[in-house]
Structure 1
Amino acid sequence: MDWSIASILTLDGITNGAVYALLALALVLVFAVTRVIFIPQGEFVAYGALTLALLQLGQVPGTVWLLLVMALAAAVLDAVAGLRRGLGAGAVATAAAKALAFPLAVVAFAWWAAPRQLPLLVQSLLTLAIVTPLGPLLYRLAYEKLADATVLVLLIVSVGAHFALTGLALVFFGAEGFRNPSFWDARFAAGPLMLSGQTLIIFMVSIALIVALFLFFERTLRGKALRATAVNRLGARLMGISTSGAGKMSFGLAAFMGALSGLLIGPTTTMFYDSGFLIGLKGFVAAIVGALASYPSAALGALFVGLIESFGSFYASALKEVIVFTLIIPVLLWRSFQHGHHDEEE
């Protein structure tokens, strides 16, 4: 291997690592706030890429109807809970109307816009508007009632949600793969490297989102509420912070980051209905490097995973997935020896 090949592989690894970093940060965020090991994170990547692909074809994606059904189910559950608390029918109806306003607006706009083949940027924003609300709705329907359950129970729910979302993806998008157009077709030469516009967009968007998340957690009241919930759920609840609202927000951010990752990675690889699982697992390996608690360590772990995958594909292409996922074993052993055994509540 000469220097030119090594530099090309390094660039490819850093590009993939930037996407994995977004997924790793989302996984760390969800686990810190809700104690949920969010296995379906990869499905939001696939949903983002494939929803945009169907919009490109002028079709209404099935995720639109999934959003509508989940919103209606959540509204019914909220209405029943409100009536049990003694709220009046008028207050319950008003709350349901407010909860359904955004999903209904998104569904109506998607139904109108899909056959008109709007510009790529508009379709991308519409994709984010469709997929992002699925995160809070998934938390409301699958996790909220089990918020105080053990991590193992929450993990089992995550496995079930993963299989459900994967099966629905097969129904919505079919078994064939899709590849989205690039957001920027320019190419730039830097020595032996050939930088594509899409690669630069991946770098810029990833860095901008990481900075935005830092500012969100450091400077905004909602971000500080999420941090407080991550540190001590009971203490946050006693201080008047809604842990349910924090859970929905963390799932919403995770869904947004997953869908955005799907938009970024869609032009670089062919996406299938089940492609998100492997991509999400690589983000999970990076999150494990950060012990599902440290955002900087998770981001650095994601870059490391991207580099290992890139160089592994050069030396042993058929075993690159095995090489990446084997990384988790020494990391877990090291953390086990370092921290020892602790009870879950500790």
Structure 2
Amino acid sequence: MDATIALILLQDGIVNGAIYALLGLALVLIFAVTRVIFIPQGEFVAFGALTLAMLVNGSVPGTVWLLLIAGACAFLMELFKAFRQRRATGLAWAALQYLALPVALFVLTHWLSAYDIGLWGKALLTLALVVPLGPMLYRIVYQPLVDAPVLVLLIVSVAVHFALTGVALAFFGAEGWRTPAFVEGQIDLGAVTWSAQSLFVVLTCAALIVALWLFFGRTIYGKALRATAVNRRGARLMGISTVMSGRLTFTLAAAIGALSGMLIAPVTTIYYDTGFLIGLKGFVGAIIGGLASYPVAAAGALLVGIIEAFASFWASAYKEVIVFTLIIPVLLWRSLSSPHVEEEEE
């Protein structure tokens, strides 16, 4: 290996690591706020990429039907809750969020499919279709289990992963998809030539991380999520709704996943189950951060991307093994260095 090859591998590692960093941050955020180890985070990556690919190819994506089904299920749960409590508080808002919004997006998508709104317009439409799935998934699956132990939530997350993978196969098919690059061209940076799309991915990921930092540090909702992550019981006593925090967290996670999928769709072929491996590599970065530290998780995810790139050169058949083996020494070190405490009773 010479210096040129090393720089090319480093470039690939940084691009992949930037995506893993976003997913790792989303996983840390969800676990800190809701105690859910969100295995299906990668499915939002696949949904974002495949939805955009189908829109680019002039097809109406199956996401619109998934949105209608998920919205109907979420509204029925709200209706059942209102019936049990003998009050209709919030039912109108639920109908607007879970019924009217999916129907409006269904009609809008079919209408826009007859026009060429450009790649950027289709990317915005993709976000509008995928992001609402986050709070709907929380309402259907995790909100009823808000006080369940972490192990139960983990088992449920595994089941949700398999369910969403099957749904993706049914709605998008088994073939792989790619999308056009958002930015064309090459950019010379010293001894390495970057594709404009790769540089766009890295800069977009960096901008999104900064935006998340500003959100958590400067906004009321961001501070509410931080408070819930630090002390859920204290947040409740201060009037912060843990249900609101959970829905907002899953909304952010869906947005991060969908955006990550759209960023990588021009540089790699995406299948219905591709998001699982990508999400797991983000999970490795989150584990390095102890599912608690955002900067360490981002740095760990970047390290995962770089190690994966060099492993693909030296031992391509074992690159996945090498990446996932990183979890073992990290878990061992954290187990030996951290005091063991009982889970907080809610």
Partner of 1:328 in structure 2?
327
Q: Partners of 2:93 and 2:182 in 1: how far apart? A: 39
Structure 1 residue 106 displacement after superposition: 1.5
Partner of 1:67 in structure 2?
67
Structure 1 residue 135 displacement after superposition: 0.7
- 3-state secondary structure, aligned to 1:312: helix
Structure 1 residue 232 displacement after superposition: 1.0
Q: Does 1:98 align with 2:96?
A: yes
Structure 2 counterpart of 1:134, one-letter code: L
C-alpha contact 2:28 2:291 (8 A) present in aligned 1: yes
Provide closer, same or farther for how the CA distance between residues 78 and 177 of structure 1 changes in structure 2, counting only shifts above 3 A: same
Q: Partners of 1:118 and 1:243 in 2: how far apart? A: 39
How does 1:236-315 map onto structure 2 within 5 Å?
Answer: 236-315=235-314
Partner of 1:213 in structure 2?
212
Structure 1 counterpart of 2:241, one-letter code: S
For structure 1, the residue ranges without an aligned partner over 5 or more in a row are none
Q: Partners of 1:84 and 1:185 in 2: how far apart? A: 56
Q: Could you list the per-position Cα deviations for residues 119-160 of structure 1 after superposition, in whole angstroms to 9, with x for gaps in the alignment?
A: 000000010111111111001000101010000000011001
Partner of 1:3 in structure 2?
3
Q: Partners of 2:337 and 2:90 in 1: how far apart? A: 52
Q: Partners of 1:226 and 1:12 in 2: how far apart? A: 33
How does 1:1-346 map onto structure 2 within 5 Å?
Answer: 1-88=1-88, 94-99=92-97, 100-345=99-344
Structure 1 residue 93 displacement after superposition: 5.6
Structure 2 counterpart of 1:122, one-letter code: G
How many aligned residue pairs are there?
344
RMSD: 1.3
Q: Partners of 1:114 and 1:84 in 2: how far apart? A: 42
Structure 1 residue 84 displacement after superposition: 2.8
Q: Could you list the per-position Cα deviations for residues 245-286 of structure 1 after superposition, in whole angstroms to 9, with x for gaps in the alignment?
A: 100110110010000000001111000000000000000000
Structure 1 counterpart of 2:226, one-letter code: R
C-alpha contact 2:82 2:91 (8 A) present in aligned 1: no
Q: Partners of 1:307 and 1:59 in 2: how far apart? A: 36
Structure 2 counterpart of 1:242, one-letter code: S
Structure 1 residue 340 displacement after superposition: 4.1
Structure 1 residue 76 displacement after superposition: 1.7
Q: Partners of 2:90 and 2:53 in 1: how far apart? A: 38
Q: Could you list the per-position Cα deviations for residues 17-63 of structure 1 after superposition, in whole angstroms to 9, with x for gaps in the alignment?
A: 11100000000000000000000000000000001111111111111
C-alpha contact 1:49 1:262 (8 A) present in aligned 2: yes
Q: Could you list the per-position Cα deviations for residues 213-243 of structure 1 after superposition, in whole angstroms to 9, with x for gaps in the alignment?
A: 1111111110011011111111111111110
Provide closer, same or farther for how the CA distance between residues 244 and 158 of structure 1 changes in structure 2, counting only shifts above 3 A: same
Q: Which deviates more, 253-262 or 113-122?
A: 113-122
Structure 2 counterpart of 1:153, one-letter code: V
Q: Could you list the per-position Cα deviations for residues 95-133 of structure 1 after superposition, in whole angstroms to 9, with x for gaps in the alignment?
A: 343223322222211121124342000000010111111
C-alpha contact 1:83 1:92 (8 A) present in aligned 2: no
Q: Which deviates more, 93-102 or 204-213?
A: 93-102
- 3-state secondary structure, aligned to 1:116: coil
TM-score, normalised relative to structure 2: 0.96
- 3-state secondary structure, aligned to 1:189: strand
- 3-state secondary structure, aligned to 1:188: strand
C-alpha contact 1:41 1:280 (8 A) present in aligned 2: yes
Q: Partners of 2:15 and 2:293 in 1: how far apart? A: 21
Structure 1 residue 92 displacement after superposition: 6.2
Q: Partners of 1:287 and 1:82 in 2: how far apart? A: 38
Q: Partners of 2:94 and 2:254 in 1: how far apart? A: 22
- 3-state secondary structure, aligned to 2:188: strand
C-alpha contact 2:78 2:91 (8 A) present in aligned 1: no
Structure 1 counterpart of 2:86, one-letter code: G
Q: Partners of 1:98 and 1:272 in 2: how far apart? A: 33
Provide closer, same or farther for how the CA distance between residues 344 and 94 of structure 1 changes in structure 2, counting only shifts above 3 A: closer
Q: Which deviates more, 16-25 or 196-205?
A: 196-205
Provide closer, same or farther for how the CA distance between residues 92 and 245 of structure 1 changes in structure 2, counting only shifts above 3 A: closer
Q: Could you list the per-position Cα deviations for residues 304-346 of structure 1 after superposition, in whole angstroms to 9, with x for gaps in the alignment?
A: 0010000000101111111100111000001011114322228
C-alpha contact 1:59 1:115 (8 A) present in aligned 2: no
Q: Partners of 2:189 and 2:218 in 1: how far apart? A: 38
Q: Which deviates more, 19-28 or 331-340?
A: 331-340
Provide closer, same or farther for how the CA distance between residues 61 and 14 of structure 1 changes in structure 2, counting only shifts above 3 A: same
C-alpha contact 1:21 1:298 (8 A) present in aligned 2: yes
TM-score, normalised relative to structure 1: 0.96
